[in-house]
């Protein structure tokens, strides 16, 4: 009853003339840029962007008012390591399943992935590669056109990997010829790497993904193996820079991690077995670590159910806890950290579960939120668009009941999602008509 009365008062507030505006009334508003929480804020939104933020702002005449005065409002979250365009992901346990489907089927199966991710509070993702090359470009563009619902996507187009490497479709018989889109990014010299970067840039990607070491979830691979040479990694970074693109590097073993950092990548993905030298090097170079410390839960659960190949479980043996302890060491050392889940290993829509693990392994709740907002925006090079609730930025907001700085698990139950000024989820929220 109290909230209903407050909502009526909000709707009746005097205001200045304006048209087609939305005003969001935020009881608590998290500002990750300053690491503070503001109270009793009004956020004015028009044309998909934030026009003004402040305490005691007059609500423009005719504006639709969304009353979140009993909620905590945060910037839309950013997951920097997703695989939305891989259809059902690892639901069936094995990348070989992609061979049973056309590229069209895989991308259509990816539509629910995008919706679930947005509804979980993630308004932006950096999608870091797909087996079916360029499916992620198609998914990104369909979302941007408004054809389907999903987060803003920044995509890699394909993996750049050595033949038979971590990002390759492997394990088939030697005389099986794969279609072009399943070996699009294979490269075996610095010049071949440059050619793949040029091709991807031409095809409209937003960043470049290279694989510096072997992988857990690839047949015939080993996360302890170093794959690309330093010269090949340097070629990727240099060529990407020519096109204004940043590079992220998949890397599990210490040497592959350090090779990638020395080459100048923007981030190291997984960074599972990073050693003290690698941590120091990342801090010195300002390299982000993007460590997916939650998805171990899903890999082990798949193992208990028998829905994941035995060789993948063998690759993963003892890596999970080592990665989490190295995450703690990197946080303590002050290395830049971004939020990335390897979404697709775990069910789509479960990205928020990683927040609690980041806090368990050394972050404060605010640091975990910053990893998924201001830090992530900085890593992507789009701090002018996303990452905080500030005038001129995209109107991307989420809200939860309670205080996530006291209980970070509250972020697993997002009640309100706005992306570019449009509401995609609202549960128990009062909205006053224009």
DSSP string, 253-321: SHHHHHHHHHHT-SEEEE-TT--HHHHHHHHHHT-EEE---STHHHHHHHHHHT-S-HHHHHHHTTHHH
Do 135 and 36 lie in one domain? The reply is: no
Contact assessment for residue 177 and residue 185, using Cβ atoms and an 8 Å cutoff: no
Residues 61 and 118 in one domain: no
| Residues 176, 89 within the same domain | yes
The phi, psi pair for 45, rounded to 5°, reads -120, 135
User: Which sign does the torsion angle of CA 103, 246, 320, 212 carry?
Assistant: positive
Please state the rounded mean pLDDT for residues 297-315: 76
- Name the DSSP letter for residue 396: -
- Domain around 394: 2-76+388-432
Residue pLDDT, tens place only, 25-74: 999 999 999 999 999 999 999 999 999 999 989 998 899 999 999 999 99
User: Taking Cα atoms as reference points, which of 89, 52, 82, 95 lies closest to residue 156?
Assistant: 82
- Verify that 273 and 393 share a domain, yes or no: no
Say if residue 403 is in the same domain as residue 289: no
Q: Of all helices (H) and strands (E), which one includes residue 201?
A: helix 190-202
How confident is residue 14, by pLDDT bands cut at 50, 70 and 90? very low
- State the pLDDT confidence band at 2, using cuts at 50, 70 and 90: very low
Q: Are residues 196 and 243 in the same domain?
A: yes
284/152 same-domain check: yes
The verdict on 43 and 90 lying in the same domain is no
69 in the same domain as 84:
no
β-strand pairing of 267-270 with 416-419: unpaired
Number of structural domains found in the chain: 2
Q: Could you tell me if 95 and 71 lie in one domain?
A: no
Dist. CA 140–CA 312, nearest whole Å: 29
Cβ proximity of 79 and 117 under 8 Å: yes
Categorise residue 153: left if φ over 0, alpha if ψ from -120 to 50, beta otherwise: beta
Q: Residues 91, 156: one domain?
A: yes
User: Alpha-carbon distance 270 to 249, whole Å?
Assistant: 9
CA nearest neighbour of 330 among 382, 364, 279, 374? 279
Would you give the DSSP letter of residue 405? T
pTM to 2 decimal places? 0.92
Q: Whole-angstrom Cα distance, residue 29 to residue 417?
A: 14
Lowest-pLDDT range of 169-178, 222-231, 375-384: 169-178
Mean pLDDT of 149-157: 98
Residue 169 pLDDT grade (very low, low, confident, very high; cuts 50, 70, 90): confident
CATH number at residue 31: 2.30.40.10
Contacts of 408 (CB under 8 A, 6+ apart): 355, 356, 359, 365, 368
Burial (CB count within 10 angstroms: exposed 0-12, middle 13-18, buried 19+), residue 112: middle
Residues 194 and 305 in one domain: yes
DSSP H or E run through 105:
helix 103-109
Mean pLDDT is lowest, of 105-119, 120-134, 204-218, for 204-218
Q: Which two tokens stand for residue 428?
A: 């128990």
Decide if 129 contacts 184 (C-beta within 8 A): no
Average of pLDDT values for 208-228?
A: 85
CATH of the domain at 142: 3.20.20.140
């Amino acid at each position: 009853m109290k909230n209903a009365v407050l909502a009526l008062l909000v709707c009746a507030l005097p205001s200045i003339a304006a048209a087609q505006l939305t005003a969001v009334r935020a009881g608590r508003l998290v500002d990750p840029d300053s690491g503070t929480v503001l109270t009793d804020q009004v956020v004015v939104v028009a044309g998909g962007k934030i026009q003004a933020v402040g305490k005691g702002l007059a609500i423009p005449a005719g504006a639709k008012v969304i009353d979140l005065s009993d909620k905590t409002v945060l910037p839309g979250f950013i997951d920097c390591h997703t695989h939305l365009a891989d259809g059902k992901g690892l639901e069936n346990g094995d990348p070989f399943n992609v061979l049973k489907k056309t590229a069209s089927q895989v991308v259509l199966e990816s539509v629910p992935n995008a919706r679930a991710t947005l509804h979980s509070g993630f308004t932006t993702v950096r999608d870091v590669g797909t087996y079916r090359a360029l499916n992620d470009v198609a998914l990104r563009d369909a979302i941007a056109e408004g054809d389907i619902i999903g987060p803003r996507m920044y995509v890699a187009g394909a993996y750049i990997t050595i033949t038979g490497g971590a990002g390759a479709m492997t394990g088939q018989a030697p005389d099986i010829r794969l279609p072009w889109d399943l070996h699009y990014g294979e490269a075996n010299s610095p010049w071949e790497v440059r050619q793949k970067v040029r091709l991807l840039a031409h095809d409209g990607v937003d960043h470049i993904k290279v694989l510096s070491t072997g992988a857990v979830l690839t047949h015939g691979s080993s996360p302890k193996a170093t794959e690309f040479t330093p010269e090949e990694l340097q070629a990727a970074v240099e060529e990407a820079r020519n096109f204004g693109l940043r590079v992220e590097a998949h890397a599990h073993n210490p040497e592959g991690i350090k090779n990638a950092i020395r080459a100048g990548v923007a981030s190291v993905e997984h960074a599972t077995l990073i050693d003290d030298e690698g941590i120091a090097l990342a801090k010195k170079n300002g390299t982000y670590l993007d460590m997916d410390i939650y998805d171990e839960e899903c890999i082990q659960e798949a193992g208990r159910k028998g829905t994941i190949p035995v060789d993948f479980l063998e690759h993963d043996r003892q890596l999970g806890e080592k990665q989490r302890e190295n995450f703690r060491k990197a946080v303590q050392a002050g290395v830049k950290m971004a939020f990335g889940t390897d979404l697709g290993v775990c069910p789509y829509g479960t990205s928020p579960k990683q927040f609690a693990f980041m806090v368990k392994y050394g972050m404060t709740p605010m640091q975990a939120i910053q990893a998924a907002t201001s830090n992530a925006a900085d890593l992507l090079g789009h701090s002018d668009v996303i990452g905080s609730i500030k005038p001129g930025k995209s109107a991307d907001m989420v809200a939860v009941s309670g205080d996530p700085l006291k209980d970070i698990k509250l972020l697993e139950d997002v009640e309100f999602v706005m992306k570019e000024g449009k509401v995609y989820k609202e549960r128990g929220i009062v909205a006053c008509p224009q």
